[in-house]
Amino acid sequence: MSDVTNKGRMTFGPGTAMYVGAVLGTGVIALPALAAEAAGPASLLAWLALVLLSAPLAGTFAALGARYPDAGGVSTYARLAFGKHAAAVVGWCFYFAVPPGAAAAALFGGAYVSAAVGGGATTTTVTAVGLMVVVTVANAFGLQVSSRLQFALAGLLVLLLLVSVGLALPHADMGNLEPFAPHGWAAIGPAAALLVWSFAGWEAITHLAAEFRRPQRDLPRATAAAVTIVGVLYLLVAFATVAVLGSAAAKTTAPLGELMAVGLGGNARWLAAGAAVLLTLGAMNAYYAGAAKLGAALGRDGALPGALAEGSVAGEVPRRSLAVNSAMSFAMLAIVLVTGLGSRPLVLLTTGSFVAVYAIGVAAAIKLLPRRSLGRAAAITALIAVVALLLMSGVYLVWPLVVTGAALLYVRLNHGRRSSSGQERQEDVAELST
């Protein structure tokens, strides 16, 4: 298969940064402490297991994205493997998962800023709104602007995390690893369930695959680099949280800030707030970019209103889809603030939707990718991760089931509506498999 050159301009460096930002999100801000509270030092095994299981999952989506570079991402793969109904379900599950996820992420970042400057809920809200505005504006100017922003954010973020952990690790006490499983070995399962949020995002880059200049070469390379960077950073932060903070790790809501305070001395809340803002911007930027492209592709293919189709072609800016997704994100934030529900339900709703996307995406990969290829082998291995994620999601799979029903109803009511440009683009995608 030849290395096809696309109209997109994204290369290995910005692509890696976009991927790192999508996965290395707000989970690192608080989840090391929450996992330690659930399982003690044994939570490190949950981190390690999810790092290992995420590699074949990431490899699966990289293989699909390289072979079928299209803005529809997993929705396109589902259409090619199982038809338009499956495509609509996957597309809706992802597209409508981003608003609650974005609202939760913005609130996480805002909470760290509030801890640094004071102001309570007002500061948290203002910061959350500001973060949403920044990523919306960046993506409205096109992927070249948002990918440059992502590259800068990823570099600063990786440097900040490495410095924080590097300065804190000399204070580690191996005695803090005992007892290793204070709540029993069974507690590792609940800890892993909490960490699913930290590893959601391997599918996000598929919606930007067509934006790579040479997706068949650069997308797998960017994926491998992102898996390595994310895995190493998560394990380092998790280990430092347990080994340095000890029992205090389970009592803090800002473990990164505590590590900075240990390593640097004094009040490190400002640095912690800076890290939280970088993490939040990186994750939100990647998901806004992916969701905007996906919405345009769904509009092109008839799974969403055709008015959203503008921007589905590589190099174009999907401003209408971006505006809709941004508006829904602001609406979710407003609902949470008015009702006082908090961000936890948003996290679990988002995670349940992504698990549904993973399940269909892996199934599509097994059907579409060539036999005896590394990508298909990764997909078969990824089934283990998907089954585990399904078991962990539990009752929150109800939300993607509701979205599934709505997607199928929409497709039924709009049966037969296909734009000629959508049909031509589908033929172009199919040609990439030959």
> What does the pLDDT average to over 189-216?
73
Other beta carbons within 10 angstroms of residue 232's beta carbon come to 14
Please compute the mean of the pLDDT values over residues 324-345 and round it to a whole number: 86
Check residue 14 and give its pLDDT: 73
Find the range with the poorest average confidence among 83-92, 166-175, 259-268: 259-268
Token couple for 243: 């080994």
Sign of CA dihedral 191, 281, 297, 19: negative
Q: Is residue 37 part of a domain?
A: yes
Mean pLDDT of 407-416: 82
Q: What is the average pLDDT across 347-352? A: 78
The whole-number average pLDDT for the span 268-286 is 76
Confidence of residue 346 (pLDDT cuts 50, 70, 90): confident
* Domain ranges, residue 167: 12-431
Asked whether residue 4 is domain-assigned, the answer is no
Q: What are phi and psi of 37, to 5 degrees?
A: -65, -35
Residue 16 lies in a domain: yes
Residue 30 phi, psi (nearest 5):
-125, -25
Per residue in 130-150, pLDDT (tens digit) is 999 998 988 887 655 555 666
Select the more confidently predicted residue: 316 or 397.
397
Task: Give helix 215-245 / helix 12-23 axis angle, nearest 10°.
Answer: 40
Portion of the chain with pLDDT greater than 70, in percent: 83
Give CA 15 to chain center in angstroms. 14
In a domain, 5, yes or no: no
Read off the pLDDT of each residue in 187-201 and give the average, rounded to a whole number.
75
> What does pTM read for this prediction?
0.74
Domains in the chain, number: 1
Q: Look at residue 41 and tell me whether its pLDDT is greater than 80.
A: yes
For residues 220 and 3, is the Cβ–Cβ distance under 8 A?
A: no
Taking Cα atoms as reference points, which of 431, 380, 365 lies closest to residue 61?
A: 365
Is the residue at 93 inside a domain? yes
Structure tokens at 43: 């939570």
Distance in angstroms (rounded) separating the CA atoms of residues 60 and 253: 34
Q: In sequence order, which residues have a C-beta less than 8 Å from that of residue 381 and are 6 or more positions away?
A: 56
- Of 132 and 420, the one with more pLDDT: 132
- Rounded to 5 degrees, what are φ and ψ at 96? -90, 0
Per DSSP, 99 falls in state H
Residue whose token pair is 């400002």? 270
For 364-383, give the DSSP string: HHHHHSPTT-HHHHHHHHHH
Is position 2 within any domain?
A: no
> Please, what sign has the CA dihedral across residues 275, 276, 279, 281?
negative
Q: Which amino acid belongs to residue 176? A: N
Q: Does residue 78 belong to any structural domain of this protein?
A: yes
**Mean per-residue pLDDT of the chain:** 80
Highest mean pLDDT among 27-31, 251-255, 413-417: 27-31
The pLDDT, as a whole number, for residue 425 is: 46
Q: What is the mean pLDDT of residues 111-131?
A: 86
> How far is the C-alpha of 40 from the C-alpha of 181, rounded, in Å?
6
- Looking at per-residue pLDDT, the higher value among 212 and 186 belongs to 186
Partner residues linked to 212 by β-bridges: 10
Per-residue model confidence (pLDDT) at position 427: 46
Q: Cβ neighbours of residue 425 under 8 Å, at least 6 residues apart?
A: 70, 300, 312, 313
pLDDT for the residue numbered 368: 92
CB atoms within 10 A of CB 178: 11
CA distance linking residue 90 with residue 74, whole number of Å: 7
The residue among 155 and 47 whose pLDDT is bigger is: 47
pLDDT of residue 237: 87
Q: Is residue 7 part of a domain?
A: no
Q: How many CA atoms lie within 13 A of 404 on its CB side?
A: 14
Residue 212 pLDDT > 80:
no
**Residue that wins the pLDDT comparison between 65 and 154:** 65
Q: Which residue has the tokens 């097994």?
A: 366
d(CA 312, CA 310): 6
Tell me which residue of 306, 369, 290 sits closest to 18, measured CA to CA: 290
Which CATH number do you get for residue 405? 1.20.1740.10
User: Which tokens hold the place of 261?
Assistant: 């305070």
Q: Considering only CA atoms, which of 2, 288, 18 is closest in space to residue 152?
A: 18
pLDDT band at residue 374 under the 50/70/90 scheme:
confident
Contact (Cβ atoms closer than 8 angstroms) between residue 77 and residue 68 = yes
More confidently predicted of 150 and 339: 339
Mean pLDDT of the region 46-67: 86
pLDDT of residue 1: 42
